[in-house]
Structure 1
Amino acid sequence: MKNMLSLARSARVLARIMTGRDVWVSAKPQGKLAWCGNPSYGGWKLPVDGIGGRVGVIDAGVGEDLSFSEDLISRYGASVVALDPTPKAAHYVHSRGNPAIDFVNHGLAPEDGKAIFYLPSNRNHVSGSLNAENHLKGGELEVELSSLSTAISRLPECDTLIVKMDIEGAEFDLLGSADFQSCAMEIDILCIEFHHRWPNFGAARLRQAVEALEALGFSCVWRNTGTNEEFTFARAAMV
C-alpha cells in the first residue's frame, strides 16, 4: 500500500511537470545518499561520503520537528544553529532541551531586521510565513530576522557546513540576496523545501532558483519525487 501511494504521488508530480505547472529538476546523485531525519517528515537525503570533520548545521524553519538536526548531532557531533520565529516552534525546541542546539527565535531572511509574520489559519498547524497567503489568516506577529551570514557567525569553526531551509516561501528572496551569494562558497550541502506551488510564486520561480544555484556551483543530488518540493544540493567540488 505504501509503495502504491508513493507511485501515485510521483505520477501526480509528473503530470504537473508535463503540463508546465511544475519543473523537472535533474538530480545527479554522487556517492552514497542517506536519510538524515525522519524520512516521512522533516528528513532529507544527504551525500554522506562528503560529510566529515567538524560539522556545522543551520536548520531554518524547524517547526515541531528536530529530527534532521538531532540525527546529524548523533552521527557527527554536529553543532547546530536552529531558527524559527513561531511561538510553537520555540516551545517545542526548548522542550527538547538539546544542549547541542543553539535556538534563535528569528526568521531567516536576506538581512537582519524585523518583519510581519503571518500565522496559519488552522490553529493546529505550526508553519507561518513572511509572505501573506490565503491559508495564513491566523493573526500577525512582528518577528526578528537574521541573515544567513549572521546565523553562520553563531557556529564554531567547521569543516562541513550544512544549511537546511524550510522557510515557507521566503527561500526565493533569500536565495537571490547578496547575503546568500556572499555565503554560498562556505556551504557544502544545501537542503531546501521550495514553495513554488503557492499562488504568489509558480514554477518559474523554482526554475530561476535552481539556475541561480547552479551558477553558484551547486548541483542537485536528490529531489523528493513524491512532492518535487524537497531538494538537496551539493557543491560541485564536493560531489
Structure 2
Amino acid sequence: MGVTLQHVIIVFLASLFLIQFSLHTWISSHHNPVSRFDSCPILNSEPKVWSAKQRRYKNRHPHHAKRCKLRRLGGHREDQYGGWQICETEELLVSKTANSAEDRALVYSFGLGTDTSFDEDIISQYGAVVHGFDPTPGSLKYVRERSASLPDCNFAIHPFGLNDKDGEIKLYPPENPEHISHNQIPREGARPVTATLLRLATVMQLLGHTRVHILKMDVEGAEFGVLETLLSLPPLGEDDYGDGSGLSDGWAAPQRDSSGGGPDLPFDQLCVEFHPSIHPGGQEAGNAAVQRIVRALARRGFSLVHDTGAQELSFARLAVF
C-alpha cells in the first residue's frame, strides 16, 4: 500500500502535537517558583495587562510614550552599580495608585545576582509586579532571604534564566570567587552548574503574559542571542563592523513605522547590560553586535533614552512626531 499525501499530513500533525506536549511537560516539571506565592492571584491567573483605567492614557497598541521623564531606580549610592534609568510613563503613574493587581505595571527582571535594589525600588515607588529570574545558586539563596521582606504578590522569583533557546546548559562561575555571576564561557578548572534557560516567549507563555511594561536583562552574554532572535537578525556580516571608534557609532533615530519588518516586540521598555568582551566572536564582534541591535531597535520604534557610556543601555518605545 502506497503512502498518500493524507497519511503524510496526519503523521506531520501528530509529530507537531507530540513536540508541543513534550515541551509543555518539560517546562512544567522545571518550573518551581522560589517565593511563597502559591495563592497569589498574580501568578495563578492571566493579568489584564491594560485595564480600563489605563486605556484612558493609551489609544493604540503597542504603547508609545508621549514623553520620557527619566527616573533612576536601584543601585548603590557610592558607585551607582545596580541602578537603571527608566521612563516614568503614564502606565507607571497609574500603577503607583492602583487598587487592583491587574492595574499594576508588569516587570520582568532577568539576572538578579545579589542586588535586587532596582526591583525593590520599582515595587515600592510604583507598586509594580516584578517577576525575577536567576538560575545561579548564590543568587537564589540571596533572593530567598531578601524577598521575604517585600510585599506579597509583588515579587516572584523563578529559578531559571533567559536564552535564545529552551533547554539545560552549563554555566561557569566567575574567576573572582567573591562574584556570583555565571556565564556560558567554559573556564579551565571551573566547576559549572547546570541551569535551565528559556526563551522569552516560553517564559511569557508559562506565566500567562502577553506583554510586559519593562524588560530588564543582565544575563552575562546571552543578551546577544536573545535580542538577535527577537529582532530576527541574521548572523553578523562584514558590513556590520564599524571603524571600531566607539559603540555609539551609527546609532539611528527611531522610525515612525515601528514594525521594522518583523513581529511586534512584547515589551515597552528595555534595560539591558551588554557584555561585548564575552561575545562568542570576541570583543570586536561584540561591539558590532551592540551597534546592530541598537539600530534594529530603532527600526522598531525604540529610542535609546539612556546610555552610561559603558554597557548599560535603556530603551523606550516613544511616539515619533
Task: Please report the TM-score for the alignment, with normalisation by the length of structure 1.
Answer: 0.76
Aligned counterpart, 1:218: 302
Q: 2:75 aligns with which of 15, 26, 38?
A: 38
- Partner of 1:206, secondary structure, is helix
Instruction: Give per-residue Cα distances to partners, 1:93-145, cap 9 Å, x unaligned.
Output: 0011234221111121123211111111221111111233x6x8532111101
Counterpart contact for 2:165–2:199, Cα < 8 Å: yes
Gaps of 5+ in 1: 1-29
Aligned counterpart, 1:235: 317
Residues 145 and 238 of structure 1: CA distance in aligned 2, closer, same or farther (over 3 Å): farther
Residues 140 and 235 of structure 1: CA distance in aligned 2, closer, same or farther (over 3 Å): same
**Residue 57 (structure 1) shift:** 0.7
What letter is aligned with 1:45? Q
**Residue 154 (structure 1) shift:** 5.5
Residues 113 and 180 of structure 1: CA distance in aligned 2, closer, same or farther (over 3 Å): farther
Residues 61 and 94 of structure 1: CA distance in aligned 2, closer, same or farther (over 3 Å): same
**Residue 183 (structure 1) shift:** 7.8
What letter is aligned with 1:44? W
- 2:223 matched to 1:171? yes
Q: 1:76 aligns with which of 115, 126, 138?
A: 126
Distance (whole Å) between structure 2 residues aligned to residue 168 and residue 231 of structure 1: 14
Residues 67 and 137 of structure 1: CA distance in aligned 2, closer, same or farther (over 3 Å): farther
Instruction: Give per-residue Cα distances to partners, 1:14-48, cap 9 Å, x unaligned.
Output: xxxxxxxxxxxxxxxx5321101115111111111
**What pairs up with 1:99-178 in 2 under 5 angstroms?**
99=152, 100-132=154-186, 138-153=190-205, 161-178=213-230
What letter is aligned with 1:186? P
Distance (whole Å) between structure 1 residues aligned to residue 160 and residue 317 of structure 2: 27
Counterpart contact for 1:118–1:140, Cα < 8 Å: yes
Residues 160 and 237 of structure 1: CA distance in aligned 2, closer, same or farther (over 3 Å): farther
Aligned counterpart, 1:62: 112
Distance (whole Å) between structure 1 residues aligned to residue 320 and residue 169 of structure 2: 36
Residues 115 and 161 of structure 1: CA distance in aligned 2, closer, same or farther (over 3 Å): same
**Residue 237 (structure 1) shift:** 3.1
Counterpart contact for 2:168–2:195, Cα < 8 Å: yes
Counterpart contact for 2:173–2:190, Cα < 8 Å: yes
Aligned length, in residue pairs: 206
**Larger RCO (CA within 8 A; separation ≥ 6):** 1
Distance (whole Å) between structure 2 residues aligned to residue 208 and residue 103 of structure 1: 32
- Partner of 1:197, secondary structure, is helix
Counterpart contact for 2:272–2:314, Cα < 8 Å: yes
Distance (whole Å) between structure 2 residues aligned to residue 86 and residue 60 of structure 1: 12
Taking only the aligned residue pairs, the percentage that are identical comes to: 34
- Partner of 1:177, secondary structure, is helix
- 2:258 matched to 1:208? no
What letter is aligned with 2:278? W
Alpha carbon RMSD of aligned pairs, Å? 2.7
Distance (whole Å) between structure 1 residues aligned to residue 144 and residue 312 of structure 2: 26
Q: Which moved more, 1:194-203 or 1:79-88?
A: 194-203
Task: Please report the TM-score for the alignment, with normalisation by the length of structure 2.
Answer: 0.58
